């Protein structure tokens, strides 16, 4: 737990830390941010192209597309990059959006 206070990365890369942080973000009405970030991390571990394509589409429909149920707050260039990259999803197709969300969480929601 002490490590969580030392860096944001320690918090979100810890299974328990991420769960506790998600609970906190729910009170801030922004838990979609950690859900998206964690889904991106899981996607990077997939080795099958078919599974990456499926996950990329799921990330898009759940978090990226305008008016998505759990739409994340990213700028237009990042959204367009994800849309472009989703055609041939690599492990990095959502990297820019993930970096933006990480910075939002670190700056706005991490004391």
Q: What is the CATH number of the domain that holds 83?
A: 1.10.167.10
78: number of Cβ within 10 Å:
19
- Predicted confidence at residue 89, as pLDDT, reads 63
The Cα-based distances of 76 to 30, 67, 79, 99 in angstroms read 19, 14, 5, 14
Could you tell me if residue 4 is inside a domain? Answer: no
pTM of structure:
0.88
Q: How far apart are CA 41 and CA 44, in angstroms?
A: 5
Residue 100's domain comprises 32-108
Report yes or no on 16 lying in a domain: no
Number of structural domains (the chain) is 1
63, 32 in Cβ contact below 8 A? yes
CB count within 10 Å of CB 99 equals: 14
Give the tens place of pLDDT for each residue, 19-72. 999 999 999 999 999 999 999 999 888 888 888 888 888 999 999 999 999 999
């Amino acid at each position: 737990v002490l490590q969580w206070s030392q860096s944001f990365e320690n918090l979100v890369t810890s299974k328990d830390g991420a769960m506790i942080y998600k609970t906190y973000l729910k009170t801030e009405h922004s838990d979609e941010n950690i859900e998206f970030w964690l889904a991106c991390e899981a996607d990077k571990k997939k080795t099958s192209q078919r599974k990456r394509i499926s996950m990329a589409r799921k990330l898009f429909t759940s978090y990226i597309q305008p008016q998505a149920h759990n739409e994340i707050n990213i700028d237009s260039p990042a959204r367009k990059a994800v849309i472009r990259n989703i055609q041939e999803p690599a492990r990095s197709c959502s990297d820019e959006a993930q970096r933006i969300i990480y910075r939002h969480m670190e700056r706005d929601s991490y004391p």
